[in-house]
Chain A
Amino acid sequence: MQAKAGQFFSSGHTNNWAVLVCTSRFWFNYRHVANTLSVYRSVKRLGIPDSHIVLMLADDMACNHRNPKPATVFSHKNMELNVYGDDVEVDYRGYEVTVENFLRVLTGRLPPSTPRSKRLLSDDHSNILIYLTGTSRWNGFLKFQDSEEISNVELADAFEQMWTKRRYNELLFIIDTCQGASMYERFYSPNLMALASSQVGEDSLSHQPDLAIGVHLMDRYTFYLLEFLEDIHPASTANMNDLFKVCPKSQCVSTPGHRTDLFLRDPGNVLITDFFGSVRKVEITMETINLTAPMVFSIEIIIKNYCNQ
Chain B
Amino acid sequence: MAVDDPQAVDHCRHRGRLAALAIAVVVIAVGVPLWWKTTETYRAWLPVTQINQLAQLQLQLSVEVEVVFSRGTLTAEHQKKIDPTHTRLEEHPTTVLRYRYETRYRTATIMEEDALNQPTAAETDQSLHLLSESPCGSVVIYVVPESSTLLPEGVSVYVGQRRTALLRAGRPMRVGIGLKEVLAHLETQVQQVLKVMSFSHSDITAALSDRVRLDYSSREGLADSMRAFKSSPGYEITFSLLNPDPKSHHLHWDIEAAVQSYIQPLLSKLAPVADFSLDSQILYYAVLGVNPRFDPSLNAYTLNADSLSHVINPVEARLGSSAASSNPVLNFLLYVPDARHSPLYITDHRKYTVVSNAFSSPRWGGIMVYNVNGTELPVHINIDMTRVMGVFLAQLRLMLGVQSSTPPPGFLVGPCGPAGLADWELDRLLWSRSVENVATATTTITSLAQLLDQIGNIVINDNIAEQVSAAVASLQLAVGQLEAGNLGLALQYSKEAILHSERAFFDPSLLHLLYFPDDQKFAIYIPLFLPMCVPILLSLLKMAAEARQRRRERQDKKE
Contacts and interface: CB of A to CB of B under 8 A. Distances in A.
Nearest to A234: B310
Contacts, number: 164
* Most chain B CB within a 10 A radius of its CB, from A109, A279, A291: A291
A153 B355 CA distance: 55
A306 interface: no
Interface string A28-57: 000000000000000000011111000000
A42 to B, nearest CB: 14
A47 B313 contact: yes
A121 interface: yes
Interface stretch (B55-63, B506-514, B530-538): B506-514
A8 B361 CA distance: 11
A165 B505 contact: yes
Contacts of A103: 511
B508 A104 contact: yes
B511 A109 contact: yes
B230 interface: yes
Nearest to B320: A51
Contact of B227 (A48, A234, A283): A283
A282 B313 contact: no
A278 B451 CA distance: 32
Interface in A248-280: 278-280
B294 interface: no
Interface stretch (A195-203, A221-229, A292-300): A292-300
A282 B360 contact: yes
Contacts of B196: none
B441 interface: no
A109 B506 contact: yes
Nearest to A46: B313
Interface string A44-78: 00011111000000000000000000000000000
Interface string B290-334: 000000000000000100111011001100011111100000000
Nearest to A235: B310
A287 to B, nearest CB: 5
A85 to B, nearest CB: 13
Most-contacted residue by chain B among A108, A123, A165 (CB, 10 A):
A165
Contacts of A292: 386
A289 B219 contact: no
B287 interface: no
B219 A9 contact: yes
Contacts of A119: 326
A15 interface: yes
Given A49-B313, A161-B451, A165-B505, A291 B219 contact: no
A281 B261 contact: no
B48 interface: no
A212 to B, nearest CB: 33
Interface string A83-117: 00000000000000001100110011111000111
Contacts of A300: 260-261
A281 to B, nearest CB: 6
Contact of B349 (A4, A100, A125, A290): A4
B291 to A, nearest CB: 14
Given A115-B323, A116-B322, A288 B356 contact: yes
B447 A164 contact: yes
Given A287-B404, A289-B394, A291-B386, A108 B512 contact: no
Interface in B437-484: 443-444, 447, 450-451, 455
A293 B386 contact: yes
B356 A109 contact: no
Contacts of A100: 511
Given A50-B317, A100-B511, A165-B505, A124 B394 contact: no
Contact of B515 (A1, A154, A293): A154
Contacts of A307: none
A98 to B, nearest CB: 11
B276 interface: no
B546 interface: no
Contacts of B257: 294, 297
Interface stretch (B35-43, B362-370, B547-555): B362-370
A285 B391 contact: yes
Contacts of B223: 5, 8-9, 283
B142 to A, nearest CB: 26
Contacts of A302: none
A281 B226 CA distance: 10
B8 interface: no
A157 interface: yes
Given A291-B389, A294-B386, A124 B230 contact: yes
B420 interface: yes
A110 B368 CA distance: 37
Contacts of B394: 285, 287-289
B260 A297 contact: yes
B507 A282 contact: no
Interface in B113-147: none
A303 interface: no
A114 to B, nearest CB: 9
A211 interface: no
A309 B515 CA distance: 70
B416 A289 contact: yes
A99 B505 CA distance: 20
Interface in A131-180: 151, 153-154, 157, 161, 164-166
B411 interface: no
Contacts of A109: 506-508, 510-511
Given A14-B226, A164-B447, A49 B348 contact: no
A127 B354 CA distance: 31
- Among A110, A121, A164, A290, the one with the most B-chain Cβ atoms within 10 Å of its Cβ is A164
B45 interface: no
Contacts of A296: 261, 418
Given A109-B507, A282-B361, 4 more contacts: A14-B364, A125-B226, A285-B366, A296-B418
27 contacts: A1-B348, A4-B349, A47-B310, A50-B317, A51-B316, A51-B321, A100-B511, A109-B506, A109-B508, A116-B321, A116-B322, A125-B363, A154-B514, A157-B515, A164-B451, A234-B310, A280-B364, A281-B226, A283-B362, A284-B356, A285-B394, A286-B356, A288-B358, A289-B397, A296-B418, A297-B257, A300-B261
